[in-house]
Structure 1
């Protein structure tokens, strides 16, 4: 499974790396709402949540469906303006000005898409503002999320301009309460990463640049498609003349373990990626992670891992220890080796196997990163 972006014929200068204050605020708000997704940011999230004014915390709860469950495209509204020249602003105010340029139909449909049943990849044309059936469905689904979201959705459908102003004030108050300090701390790092990736693209080309962004990104031999390894499937194009050719890569400090792709119909694609971490290696391919989980699901292989965690063993030693034939042990070892869970080292006539403790120790992080990517 993957999300693919068609870039056939796209000039390299249309592949842009740029930080976005609003996108970073969105990831910061998500981290505050779901600190369990972001164990590395636990101390930061705890400190900020403790310092939030109660009134602001209540307002954030009212609109948190824009960033809690997933990441609303409104937080990268520049991509919906149908002009490839438009990129993220240098300040939060500039990014919010770009969101203000979206028309009411775009704003409402995008705000409600994940929680109110809109088909993310469907052609544009219908919205809860113009379609009574979608309007009723939006309110029903919002009600299932709780009374706060129902009230928000009803207000949004009745008076979009008022709610748009309310959302803007909310983000501006976040900037005053905590995000100005956060942005001042991370913006230099994000700008440096964007410059480095742009220079890498110019010098070494797309394939090397995607590899530097994330191991979950790749391109084909012709450089006509960008593939993003995720547990979802989707496709979009960066060469739609109706919206302007281009794809934007937005770096983030708060993003890990998420790697998000905006592939909304009628919008330019955006790849929102976390800065590389020195603590862990790159993200594991989805298929490789599935192999590891399936390998460990068998009770005999779990027993073998217990033995191999304590030291190296040959096939014969494992067969004797577990009272199982050598051919059966070999079959299980082959599965574990294919999954990358064990290492093999020849010692004279014999091959000794041992559990790769570093790989196994990463499984918790790998699981989190794979399902949240």
Structure 2
């Protein structure tokens, strides 16, 4: 076991892998990451599944079976992705049992075409939950305005949720409220709140990628000195919001009824600028009660030369506010940046999903001997 990943786990940071494929499952590489690098969960998204299915061979048998059964492409994609997620849930079942369900979680996202459809999101979230049929699954729902009421309704049904595509502090506050509303409804319905889990996925490196470009366009010494600082500052301030939420009387009432906090999850934590340290968004966001989901390349880097697990978030709020103030003083509009990133995030998943469906349709046609 890596001493660096163990230090993070000891500091209250759960390390989740942001990747899944059938090859990982059948080869045993996913299970090995639990033993060797403290991996305690998995996240997926449409881009990850598009990449996995493009490999083809691992899915050939199931695709042939689905083709023979006359499955359409939308049915086929649900069958394929939920099988991978269910199998990954089995791989992490021991972790889930050891942590009373806090970790050992595997996430699957609703169809990105439903990002602005509340009722459709709720319906598919319930479908995916029933299809995976594992207690340690998390259903991913984007934090769009239409996603917020869906988050509440899905949690109210007793289904654990990973809220994704959060870039904005105000939107994160709305996510926290949606989480609390969902638990309050679940409590009123007599559900066991201790069985309902949630994380809120706050994206990090994409913020720097967008803002750094603007800073470089400004080009002054003052502007260039701020590169690589916005993503961490934004995420650290999100943790302050989290701390405020669990210090509220509203939360105390739910906690007394057995509720578990919605942990902040740091997503998009692989560096996009190779000039930055490859563990920047891991070592820079160490705080108790958090999750960091990362590609295997970043997990390998953390295991090899990550930090010692020292808290790098608590006490950073004043300095983080100063970073955002300095950006505003340079004319960089925070609200415009995060709105753009959310729109692009939904669009990227739409594109990946369309590519996935197109490739899967071609595979189904080929299995049926169609042109």
**Bin for the TM-score computed over the shorter chain:** under 0.3
TM-score, structure 1 normalization: 0.27
Q: Which has the larger helix fraction? A: 2
Q: Which has the larger radius of gyration?
A: 1
TM-score, structure 2 normalization: 0.27
